[in-house]
């Protein structure tokens, strides 16, 4: 992030990293590993580029409509808290 300050702590020190991003919509999920993010090195706040998020959303809906195939499927265990 060039010449921008963290919205949480106000510092301007960022580091480019990769992380897993979980997109969810109406009970359906898409796990996107290796997603680029910028992380504030002072407080750890994570910032995603809008273009990256839009691309993930577009791919999610293409997979839901069976226009694209995901790399693979995985089982996710579910357990209610209360």
Q: What's the pLDDT at 60?
A: 97
Cα–Cα dist 20/48, whole Å: 12
Q: What is the pTM (predicted TM-score) of this model?
A: 0.84
Would you list the domain boundaries of the chain? Answer: 14-64
pLDDT digits (tens, 9 = 90+) for 11-65: 999 999 999 999 999 999 999 999 999 999 999 999 999 999 999 999 999 999 9
């Amino acid at each position: 992030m060039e010449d921008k300050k963290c919205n949480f702590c106000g510092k301007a020190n960022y580091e480019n990293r990769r992380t897993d991003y979980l997109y969810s919509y109406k009970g359906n999920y898409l796990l996107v590993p290796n997603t680029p993010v910028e992380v504030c090195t002072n407080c750890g706040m994570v910032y995603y580029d809008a273009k990256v998020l839009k691309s993930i959303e577009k791919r999610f809906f293409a997979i839901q409509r069976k226009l694209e195939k995901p790399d693979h499927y995985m089982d996710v265990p579910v357990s209610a808290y209360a």
